[in-house]
Amino acid sequence: MEKEVRLREVGPRDGLQNEQAWINTEDKINLINALGETGLPYIEMTSFVHPKWIPALADASEVVKGIKRRPGVTYGALVPNEKGLERALEAGIDEVSVFISASETHNQKNINKTIDETFPVLKNVIDVAKKEGKTVRGYVSTVFGCPYEGEINQSLLVRTVEQLMEMGVDELSLGDTIGVATPNRVKDVLSLLDFVPIDQIALHFHDTKGMAVANVVAGLEKGVIAFDGSVGGLGGCPYAPGAAGNVATEDLLYLFQGLGLHTGVDMDALLDCAMFVQGKLHKTLPSHNLQAKMGAGGERL
Amino acid sequence: MEKEVRLREVGPRDGLQNEQAWINTEDKINLINALGETGLPYIEMTSFVHPKWIPALADASEVVKGIKRRPGVTYGALVPNEKGLERALEAGIDEVSVFISASETHNQKNINKTIDETFPVLKNVIDVAKKEGKTVRGYVSTVFGCPYEGEINQSLLVRTVEQLMEMGVDELSLGDTIGVATPNRVKDVLSLLDFVPIDQIALHFHDTKGMAVANVVAGLEKGVIAFDGSVGGLGGCPYAPGAAGNVATEDLLYLFQGLGLHTGVDMDALLDCAMFVQGKLHKTLPSHNLQAKMGAGGERL
């Protein structure tokens, strides 16, 4: 039997929250519905962070209420606190995503709380979510480097991950928020965090320095089976220098297909989703496989 | 002591030959001079293919005669036949690059000869080059897939490489011309060609599907120490869908630095070269590290 890997589609949340253009609620719903048809097992639909902070996702409830659920797909959303969780539960979600940063400075800038002040907030959210029968995804951002601090304090990272696991996080998503990791660092961090069952770890790479696919291979070599991607490489754009999105889900799919790994995801259907959202954004998305499909390619030596 | 890897800069040739815009001879010379100052050990300056086929490099002789050579740098050029070699030798080059395809159809479309008809042409070029005291680089293109045939005939690939090695090629550059390889395929091909001394192999990846950096890591794991790159990712452009250039030299450099490998190349100086040529082309180049340097980046979850 083919080895299986799990693609986690975070484009409608992590991608769109970083796009300047407003996408109509109906288009978001159409995108999520189409993504559901590709065979993806997980789709992060939106964020219930206060619209003041992320206006692009101000229609979170309408989106969640508007989509057509495909059986077997887990539909998640990002939730910052109990207030956000209430809205998310009212709208109807399968899985709750909480987030914290491995860097004290990044956490404070992002959430306006210290890491220690963040733990009880997450614990409350997770406790309520679990009582409501929801699974929980825990994002740790800036795991491989911080835009303010540079190097990450390894013991603080370990403590943060320990706390999340103790709170009952079902899947831990380790984020290279600023896209600085290289494969050796990925392996080092996975070794450092080897107290987490490997099938509960997901890797989440932004492609700022072009290392994301190589870092995914490093994760595979360490036994990781879940990887976050963003359809079209949403959230980054070659027209907006320096704004690097998540690695494109279809680039990950190309890798996994080449490696003979089973994902259950249909490439053509996924590329259609990427093309759809690219059309709505009126810009060229960074996905290699999307651009290869759209272009002629041409002969080269 | 740090392990060393060798970066082969092919942008002024493989990159510029695929760009639509005309770059002035003086700008090409300035680019090559600046590349020489970065610490790169090899720069492929241009191509002596007939200007009818590659008008962008019609000024090959002027470029080669115009540059300022930095001691320790090998300055090469692509040469298709004895006529091209005469021009190249007259202009003054250190190393001669010859080329052939692993795919019969691609070779015929590219050179208008069968693979068997190409061997004696290359042999003549190599014999003369060697008599003139030049080293020789042998490109094999479409090693990992052909735009016309798809899969590559493995025994024909072996025979082609054997012929090149018997002719006295000093470095063999295995090209993923259409950028379709995944890391497992890279390892398979290197195993297939294990009769070639590993320190005579270079890997040459185009980034069509976004796999180039991961493929380089696969090459490193098999012991390869030489890798082709193109400053800025020249030859490809996110504005020209489907036109994927070589992997950017600075993205490879970022990888090697992260892995603790020694290259002798200065990142800032290399990024300055990429910025210079991007300015001359008036378009956004695909290099991740270039775009990350030019942009603000911004905070992300």
Cβ atoms A43, A76 nearer than 8 A: yes
- Cβ within 8 Å of residue B133, ≥6 positions away: none
Residues of A in contact with B211 (CB under 8 A): 213, 251, 254-255, 258
* Residue A248, pLDDT above cutoff 80: yes
**What DSSP element (H or E) covers B204?**
strand B201-205
Among chain A residues, the shortest Cα distance to B215 is held by A214
Task: Give the C-alpha separation, A77 to A93, whole Å.
Answer: 7
pLDDT of residue B1: 56
In chain A, which among 238-267 make CB contacts under 8 A with chain B?
A: 238-244, 247-248, 251, 254-255, 258-260
Q: Which residue, among B160, B159, B208, B154, has the nearest Cα to B185 in the 3D structure? A: B154
- DSSP per-residue letters across B129-170: HHHTT-EEEEEEESTT-BTTTBS--HHHHHHHHHHHHHTT-S
- Total CB pairs under 8 A between chain A and B: 186
Residues B212-252 have pLDDT tens digits of 999 999 999 999 999 999 999 998 654 444 557 899 999 99
Residues of A in contact with B213 (CB under 8 A): 210-211, 213-214
Among chain B residues, the shortest Cα distance to A293 is held by B242
User: Which one has a higher pLDDT value, B2 or A217?
Assistant: A217
In chain B, which among 182-201 make CB contacts under 8 A with chain A?
A: 182-185
pLDDT of residue A153: 96
In order of A184, A185, B1, B205, B228, the CA distances from B260 in angstroms are: 9, 11, 10, 21, 19
Residues of B in contact with A244 (CB under 8 A): 288, 291-292, 297
Percent of chain B surpassing pLDDT 90:
86
In which band, very low, low, confident or very high, does the pLDDT at A300 lie, cut at 50, 70 and 90?
very low
In the predicted model, what is the mean pLDDT of residues B140-151? Answer: 93
Ranges of H-type helices in A137-266? 154-166, 183-192, 212-221, 249-258
**What DSSP element (H or E) covers A173?**
strand A171-176
Cβ atoms A186, A228 nearer than 8 A: no
pTM of the model: 0.95
In order of A288, A289, B175, B215, the CA distances from A285 in angstroms are: 9, 10, 26, 23
Residues B154-164 have pLDDT tens digits of 999 999 999 99
Say whether B241 and A301 touch across the interface (CB within 8 A): no
In the predicted model, what is the mean pLDDT of residues B136-164? Answer: 96
Catalytic residue, chosen from A237, A274, A281, A285, is A237
Q: Using the 8-state DSSP alphabet, how is residue A289 labeled?
A: H
Say whether B175 and A301 touch across the interface (CB within 8 A): yes
Among chain A residues, the shortest Cα distance to B207 is held by A288
CATH for A6-294? Answer: 3.20.20.70
Catalytic residue, chosen from B56, B174, B212, B237, is B237
pLDDT of residue A242: 53
The class that CATH gives domain B6-292 is alpha beta
Domain boundaries, chain A: 6-294
Residues A88-97 have pLDDT tens digits of 999 999 999 9
Say whether B291 and A255 touch across the interface (CB within 8 A): no
Residues A33-58 have pLDDT tens digits of 999 999 999 999 999 999 998 899 99
One-letter-per-residue 3-state SS of A60-93: HHHHHHHCCCCCCCEEEEECCCHHHHHHHHHHCC
Phi and psi of A136, rounded to 5°? -130, 135
Cβ atoms A271, A264 nearer than 8 A: no
Task: Give the C-alpha separation, A129 to A25, whole Å.
Answer: 26
Say whether B237 is catalytic.
Answer: yes
* Residue B2, pLDDT above cutoff 90: no
